[in-house]
Chain A
Amino acid sequence: MQSMNKIQAIPPWLDKATRTLIQDIIDSLSLRHPDLLTIILYGSVARHEERPLEVPHPSDVDLLAVFDTDDPHVAIYHGDALSHTLGLAYNRHLDAPRDVQVLFASRTLQEWDPTFVANVKRDGILLFTRDELPAPFVIAQEHSAKSQPNAL
């Protein structure tokens, strides 16, 4: 959870082309969608347990993009626009050797399973935030600070 306290750099253990794609995704989503709140890297790459590029199926990069809405259907009702923004970024970086998967969420994360949210909280690396962290992550941050008073 320490990594969720402030914006971090895209992990240097990723190859340059994939890092460039991730940065383009962050820039494109934040520019074209002003309601974007936060982008969090989670999963095996965040834990630095990713399968390497040398194996047949290298790990994907997993991002969670959180939007400033309570609507749990944000990914469905805005699916075309969000997919197009991502598509433009993907088209610019066809050389990236890893897929970058982006899931969308409302600021309450109510539409996602609690185990999934807990995993994102546990492993997440904050790559972008426009303002304050969404509430589910702030609560976890305060809990983390209390349980690990020297962590900060």
Chain B
Amino acid sequence: MLAAAHQQAAEEIEQAIHALKGASYASRMIIEGAWGAAFHWIAFGCETKHRSHQESHARLGTFLRHQGEPDVAEWWDDLDRVRQGGWYGKGIDPEAVQRAQDLLARIHAWATH
């Protein structure tokens, strides 16, 4: 995908997240969405800043560190942990949903500035 396509995908997912906010049944979807949108913002940001990006989430933290983006790598790794908590945890609580959105906001800001 081109950078513009990654940007569009990220923005569409963020709009969907916004529409789901407040719905008690949507916690898992919001975290999944935040993870997906973050992936697209990272692809967009890496392409615009470094002329290189990954089309897969596999070893994305390592890729970011190789690009000289250790902060973004930490945010991504943390968001991935929140996501795994959604799969292997007992349930999703509001703190996890908020954390996922906070990390997405950081990654969005990095990608677009």
Contact = CB atoms under 8 A, between A and B. Distances in A.
B44 to A, nearest CB: 22
A124 to B, nearest CB: 14
B89 A90 contact: no
A76 B65 contact: no
Contact of A75 (B65, B73, B74, B81): B81
Interface stretch (A7-15, A80-88, A127-135): A80-88
Interface residues of A, number: 25
Interface in A87-103: 87, 90-91, 94, 99, 101-103
A102 B74 CA distance: 12
Interface string A26-67: 000000000000000000000000000000010000000000
B47 interface: no
B87 to A, nearest CB: 8
Contacts of A80: 74, 78
Contacts of B75: 83
Contacts of B23: none
Interface residues of B, number: 24
A46 to B, nearest CB: 15
A79 interface: yes
A16 interface: no
Contact of A79 (B59, B78, B90, B93): B78
B84 to A, nearest CB: 6
A90 B95 contact: no
B77 A86 contact: yes
Contact of A112 (B62, B81, B90, B96): B90
A113 B92 CA distance: 11
Given A76-B82, A76-B95, A103-B84, A90 B58 contact: no
A90 B61 contact: yes
A83 B88 contact: no
Contact of B99 (A76, A104, A111): A76
B89 A111 contact: yes
Interface in B54-69: 58-59, 61-62, 65-66
18 contacts: A73-B95, A75-B82, A75-B85, A77-B95, A83-B74, A83-B77, A86-B77, A87-B73, A87-B74, A90-B73, A94-B62, A99-B61, A101-B84, A102-B81, A103-B88, A112-B90, A113-B89, A116-B88
Given A73-B95, A116-B89, 6 more contacts: A86-B77, A87-B70, A90-B77, A112-B89, A113-B88, A114-B90
